[in-house]
Structure 1
Amino acid sequence: MKINFLIASILSITTCSAIAAPKIYGEIDASLDYLPENNATKSDRDVWKVNSNSSFLGIKGEEKLTERLSAVYLIEWAFNADGDGTDWSQRDRYVGLKDDKYGTLKVGKNNSPLKKLSSAVDSFNNYVRNTADITSIMPGENRINNTVVYESPKFAVGKEANIEFNALLATGEAQGIKSNQGGVTVDGGGLGDAWSTSITYADPIFLAAIAYDKAIPSNFLGRGFLNATDTHTDIDKVFAAANTLRLTGRIKPIDGLALKALIQKSEVEEAKGNTVGANNIDDSIGWLVGAEYRLPNLEKWNLKAQYSQNSTSFKNDDADYDAKQIMAGVDYSFNKQVKAYGYTAYATFKQADAKDKQPVVGTGLEFKF
């Protein structure tokens, strides 16, 4: 009897563990990049770089509580596939409840709903160590500490379309704004002193979304993939709370072709911890257009091109600061997990008569697991 009870207990524990077992997943992405720099005020500097492009490891899981309700969790850490820097910086992490009818509530550290909109339109996301995408020239690409997030289910509109709504409330815990541990902390001590929200419409052909950040700390005056270790156009980055309105769209007019666009406007919100000079920024306007084309009868090959720019104006007599990046590339997908890619790009960063020019040529390999 005791032996039977022991065997039954072990089988019960094993079964429960199998049901609740976490999933380990991640991505390793490394590239070889050549950056021959042409500077306005400093000596030129040509460099070959091996770059890690948002390589990460994650654990996630879901536990069924009732027929409709589940507990969910996720933890991600970034690491450097090229061996540079410090590994295991923080990415998203949360614990929450998911209701099939009413949506998901998560508590932890999360990407803003506004940031998530860029994944559908930014074809060169994370390239050249996260400097060739819009993160490096536009405000708004933020992961936020101390947040509560609500994600709605997808509400059907007609036969094939749907609408979904996301909202994030953040508290700064009375620390003032800062950037640390792979994320940003907002100003204020109340929940909702800073927030982010988005609404997305999607059908098989068309996707459109709008999002707004209120007082979310972000970087202004970005330098893209400029191969510089110090200031070249004699202008310093500004880290400040930002109010950002972003609109994105994607259309697939024919099989294999996707046309993409983004436009946004950011203004500085007064906050404890804003970088000196933040009050002098009038606004920052950025936009992107791009296209991807998967070759007919050669579905493993994907061609893509993209132009993005961001212009920042000032309240005093300073000239506008303009960052522009144009990129073209090709992907070859061996399967759903492994992709090889190559690209070339050219960027300019200009204020008044000072203009830095930065080309890049690179190739890389991405492995998802």
Structure 2
Amino acid sequence: MKLIKKALILSICSALALPAVAADKKNEMKEVIDFYGKLNISLQASEEGGDSFNELKSNASRVGVKGKYKLDHGLTAIYKLEWQVNVDDDSKDTLTARNQWVGIKGYFGEVTVGRSDTTLKVSQGKFDLFNDYEGDLKNLFIGENRVTDALTYKSPSFSNVKFLASYILSEDSDLDDPFSVGVQFGDGSLKKTDFFVSLAHDQNMQGKSAIYETTRLVGMYKFGDLRLGAILTESEISDVSDSTDTDLIGASENGFAVNASYKLGKALAKVQYQEFAGADAINVGVDYKLGKNTKVFAWYTDREGLSFNGETIKKATEGTYFAFGMEQKF
């Protein structure tokens, strides 16, 4: 942890002390370094199992350094080092690793190696309107994985179509290497296009006590200030690490999510419903922009129906949650 902290401090100092753009002899950009982050903190009132409590939440606040450097032969070196900053943690060790990789970009697309979100995870684009909150898709869906030892490929865009793949080197010689593949049509942020469709599949993905196959179909469309989205997902247990649970092999669960948001001036009203394996969650909220990089927000989540096999959902608990807070990006 001390080594990570030193590396982060050096990265920050480098980003602040060095110029962000270095020009070559033709006055073209040769190197770009970007120090970035966000603080997202909320006061949350929670009710779980008949107990009510208030807490301060650091909703995946983060800090990072990313950059690119022009090479010969039309290639570009790219890198990213990102950490989650847990400002609500009582411990002084508040940094945890997020995406951290290095790679090469060129006419063929880009290839990276390191710690990365899988193809299936990134296939949702900006679908999740309650990302990093209690309403996050990961609290019910299987497949929201960030993995180490990953080799990731992203193709160039061909008429708004892009192919992606992740190959993960398993550290267990008795298990097959996991992989994740997908295809996207449109812009996942709905900035370059008004539509986005993706199809992705995980194979041999390792959980804590089981190995999963997951397939996910995502669609989004923007009608002016109105945005609509939907997801269909299926997960199947293909193997288990505990021989006593072999009867779970082949167990399959289906789910879906739908959402909508509407922009009213500086306010964004949003609603999202998610169901998976008999459990569901309803989320409503509003964001209000105070500036380009600053917003305040409030949301409510009601999640229930988790009386089923614990092998399918790892993180979720039944409960109701209300929060209001502020996000500052930099």
TM-score (norm 1): 0.73
Aligned residue pair count: 291
The runs of 5 or more residues in structure 2 that have no matched partner are 1-20, 188-192, 309-316
2:217 corresponds, among 247, 260, 268, to 247
Would the alpha carbon gap of residues 15 and 114 (structure 1) be closer, same or farther in structure 2, given more than 3 Å must change? Answer: closer
* 1:308 is aligned to 2:274: yes
User: 1:139, 1:102 → 2: CA distance?
Assistant: 31
Match of 2:84 in 1: 78
- List per-residue Cα deviations over 1:123-177 (Å, max 9, x = no partner): 10101xxx42111111100001101111111112xxxxx111110111113367x
Residue 351 of structure 1 and its aligned partner are, at CA, apart by: 2.4
Match of 2:201 in 1: 212
1:358 is aligned with what amino acid? Answer: G
- Aligned pairs for 1:221-232 (under 5 A) are none
* 1:202 is aligned to 2:198: no
Q: For 2:156, what is the secondary structure of its paired residue?
A: coil
Residue 31 of structure 1 and its aligned partner are, at CA, apart by: 0.8
- List per-residue Cα deviations over 1:219-256 (Å, max 9, x = no partner): xxxxxxxxxxxxxxxxxxx642210000000012x310
User: 1:28, 1:109 → 2: CA distance?
Assistant: 22
| Largest Rg, 1 or 2 | 1
Cα contact 1:198–1:211 (8 A) shared by 2: yes
2:322 is aligned with what amino acid? Answer: V
- List per-residue Cα deviations over 1:302-339 (Å, max 9, x = no partner): 0000100111xxxxxxxxxx321101000011223111
User: 2:46, 2:111 → 1: CA distance?
Assistant: 44
User: 2:243, 2:118 → 1: CA distance?
Assistant: 21
Query: For the aligned residues, what is the CA RMSD?
Result: 2.3
Would the alpha carbon gap of residues 365 and 278 (structure 1) be closer, same or farther in structure 2, given more than 3 Å must change? Answer: farther
Match of 1:154 in 2: 157
* 1:145 is aligned to 2:148: yes
Match of 1:366 in 2: 327
- List per-residue Cα deviations over 1:190-228 (Å, max 9, x = no partner): xxx21001101116222110000011124xxxxxxxxxx
The runs of 5 or more residues in structure 1 that have no matched partner are 1-13, 157-161, 177-186, 219-237, 312-321
Q: For 1:126, what is the secondary structure of its paired residue?
A: coil
1:34 corresponds, among 45, 54, 75, to 45
Cα contact 2:124–2:198 (8 A) shared by 1: no
Would the alpha carbon gap of residues 239 and 27 (structure 1) be closer, same or farther in structure 2, given more than 3 Å must change? Answer: farther
Residue 274 of structure 1 and its aligned partner are, at CA, apart by: 5.7
Would the alpha carbon gap of residues 357 and 15 (structure 1) be closer, same or farther in structure 2, given more than 3 Å must change? Answer: closer
Would the alpha carbon gap of residues 138 and 277 (structure 1) be closer, same or farther in structure 2, given more than 3 Å must change? Answer: farther
User: 1:294, 1:135 → 2: CA distance?
Assistant: 25
Q: For 1:334, what is the secondary structure of its paired residue?
A: strand
Cα contact 1:240–1:278 (8 A) shared by 2: no
Would the alpha carbon gap of residues 153 and 21 (structure 1) be closer, same or farther in structure 2, given more than 3 Å must change? Answer: closer
Would the alpha carbon gap of residues 68 and 21 (structure 1) be closer, same or farther in structure 2, given more than 3 Å must change? Answer: closer
Match of 1:98 in 2: 105
Cα contact 1:29–1:81 (8 A) shared by 2: no
Match of 1:48 in 2: 54
- Aligned pairs for 1:13-32 (under 5 A) are 19-20=30-31, 22-32=33-43
Q: For 1:115, what is the secondary structure of its paired residue?
A: helix
Match of 2:164 in 1: 166
Question: Percent sequence identity over matched residues?
Answer: 30
2:233 is aligned with what amino acid? Answer: Q
User: 1:359, 1:197 → 2: CA distance?
Assistant: 35
Q: For 1:83, what is the secondary structure of its paired residue?
A: coil
* 1:115 is aligned to 2:121: yes
* 1:340 is aligned to 2:296: yes
Cα contact 1:72–1:97 (8 A) shared by 2: yes
Would the alpha carbon gap of residues 207 and 34 (structure 1) be closer, same or farther in structure 2, given more than 3 Å must change? Answer: same
